Structure 1
Amino acid sequence: MNPLYYAISFLLKGWHSLWTAVGLDAAGGASWALSIIGLTLVIRAALIPLFVKQIKSSRNMQLIQPKVKELQKKYGHDRERLAQETMALYKDSGTNPFASCLPILLQMPIFFALFGVLRSAAQEVPKGVLTQADATQFGEARLWGVPLSSSLVDSGGQASVIAMAIFLVLAMTATTFLTQRQLMSKNMPADALSGPYAQQQKLLLYVLPVVFAVGGIAFPIGVLFYWTTSNLWTMGQQFYVIRNNPAPGTPAFAAKAERDKAKAAKHGELPPTHTEPGEAAAPEVPESDRRSAQRQQPKKQSREQRSKQGNKKKPGGSGSS
């Protein structure tokens, strides 16, 4: 964990130097709490490529669900063959069924590294690039009278610590649940709500919040700030992706189609549809064609051409002498 201790402490100290440079108290809880939030934003920005990969894999999982069901019907009697064929399907479609867990799994070491840095700072033991003075400030930093290194289990009966810890644990649990719920309710087609992939999503939906709620009672306030901020980032990032690039056949896809239709109609990009029920809309005729059809100007002729045309209309007019 030492490399992670150095990386986490380096980012924390960098953000702390920035906040103190703009006038915040170096020993205050606000500067260290904002440093934790800044650390979270840097880490989540670095994980954006992984998040994009997760979204693509999740979409592929949704699109191949009909094929997975066909395999289940065909090889349902042979569990081993079903597993082999299913994994072959995942490989051919470039799908990783566990990709949705990767962002969480990769954040766990960072999470525990921050936990270790906070715990050591509470004991005034520096880790990574933090100096003894930094560790002392970090360990004694208070936000609204609540030490960032304290947790619910070691609150000492302080009402302020208990209140903030409970609030942050509930916020962390709720944002974890809502993030997963958002994915299932908005960006999963109806035929993907059953089968092994749906079971995996439901497991994440209900199990993860419980795990974090139970573990959250032992997390320091600073760690709860990190995880809640990370969840809020995930919610916003996922909302943006689902809204602007939804999977086909999902409620989010239908909602985007309606928005695009309304936007096109607002800008006059849709043809008029004043037709009776059951009738096809007549093709729109360009305005230039309508004008030319209403009035056609005769071609201009010279005097000699008009004279020849008049002679042709007279009986025997041409070639007579």
Structure 2
Amino acid sequence: MIVGGLLSPLENVLTEVLTWLHDSVGLTWAWSIVALTVIVRMLLVPVAVKQIHSMQSLQIHAPEMKALQQRYKADRQKQSEELMKFYKENKINPYASCLPIVFQIPIFISLFFVLKGFEKEIFPKFPESSLDWIGLVDITEPTRDGWGPVLIAVYVVSQLTSTYLMSTSMQSKAQRWMIMVLPIAFLPFIIGFPSGLMIYWLTTNLWTTGQGIVTRRQMPKPVLPPKRSSRTPPKDASDASAASSSGDPQDGGGPPRPGPPRRVKRKRGGGARR
């Protein structure tokens, strides 16, 4: 297979790491996969930091971006141009949140081929070793066997949780629903994967969940404009009424200024002349 041939160097690296974790560290094969996942995620920490910074920038500028989308909602092309211009001016990479997943795809595929040929190529060197994981599943058997469906259920829950925690307010409802439905849509394919792959993906989801919790705590909340009720006049109208009530003679507003007091003539008394 072409993909397997291209990724054969990565397969060799994963095989050596798994063998070292099992033979030198003393872990079972299943826990070696868990340790391998942790090592991979630790190597991806710099990428994850960029992802977090990108999400923070998106969160901070969310009101401005939504205003741009609303302003050019009738012209999709103009909307895209203005958004890309906004990204460039504010040094935002909207695709940074996808980088950890992109980097993990080759590892996931390579591990699939490693586990597929595990019993023939690796296991004969360690015939006394166990392929079980906590007595529930065999890492080389399809996930649909034994307790595999329970592992799939835990995987789906962890995938939904990690996806929710790493989502941003800039994603539309359609995008969020699509991301949430994807794990369920992949179930027909997942049930045929070796259980070791589910262990890998479950571990990486748990890592992503923890990362998402930390990210949300550090994420600044976007400053939204105050909501105006129907009884509250707009700012311009309130300013105009304030200016009108201030009684400025130049604007002609307010009550008229009182004039000078009227002089009252005193009437001389009509007493008797002497």
TM-score normalised by the chain length of structure 1: 0.61
Tell me which stretches of 4 or more aligned residues in structure 1 moved more than 6 Å: none
Report whether the alignment pairs 1:239 with 2:213. yes
Cross-structure match for 1:178 = 161
State the alpha-carbon separation in 1 of the partners of residues 17 and 90 from structure 2.
39
Q: Deviations over 1:256-279 (max 9, x none)?
A: xxxxxxxxxxxxxxxxxxxxxxxx
**Counterpart for residue 55 of structure 1:** 52
Whole-Å Cα distance in 1 between the matches of residues 185 and 92 of structure 2? 27
Match of 1:85 among 77, 82, 85: 82
Q: CA 1:65 to 1:232, structure 2 compared with 1: closer, same or farther past 3 Å?
A: same
Q: Find out whether 1:168 has 2:151 as its counterpart.
A: yes
Partner of 1:76: 73
CA distance in 2, matches of 1:242, 1:98: 19
Taking a change above 3 Å as real, the CA distance of residues 218 and 68 of structure 1, as seen in their structure-2 partners, is: same
CA distance in 1, matches of 2:79, 2:18: 49
Alignment of 1:10-159 (within 5 A): 10-20=16-26, 31-122=28-119, 124=120, 126=121, 133-134=125-126, 141-143=131-133, 144=135, 146-153=137-144, 155=145
Offset of residue 43 of structure 1: 0.2
Q: Superposition pairs for residues 244-255 of structure 1, below 5 Å?
A: 245-249=218-222
Amino acid at match of 1:9: T
The structural deviation recorded for 1:73 is 3.2
Number of residue pairs aligned between Structure 1 and Structure 2: 216
Larger mean Cα displacement after TM superposition, 55-64 or 34-43:
55-64
* Counterparts in 2 of 1:220 and 1:81: CA distance versus 1, 3 Å: same
Structure 1 gap segments, 5+ residues each: 25-30, 156-160, 251-321
Higher helix share: 1
Alignment of 1:222 with 2:196, yes or no, is yes
State how far apart, in whole Å, the 2-side matches of 1:115 and 1:50 are.
Answer: 23
Against the structure 1 CA distance between its residues 137 and 94, is the aligned structure 2 distance closer, same or farther, given a 3 Å change threshold?
farther
Compute the displacement of 1:42 (Å): 0.3
Q: Give the C-alpha shift of residue 57 in structure 1.
A: 0.8
Higher relative contact order (CA 8 A, sep 6+): 2
Which of 4, 15, 18 is the matching residue for 2:10?
A: 4
Label 1:99 to 1:203 Cα distance change in 2 as closer, same or farther (>3 A).
farther
Q: CA deviation at 1:205?
A: 4.0
Q: Identity over aligned residues, as a percent?
A: 31
Cα 1:246–1:77 change in 2 (3 A) is: closer
2:158–2:206 contact (8 Å) kept in structure 1: yes
Amino acid of the structure 2 residue aligned with 1:142: D
CA distance in 1, matches of 2:78, 2:136: 61
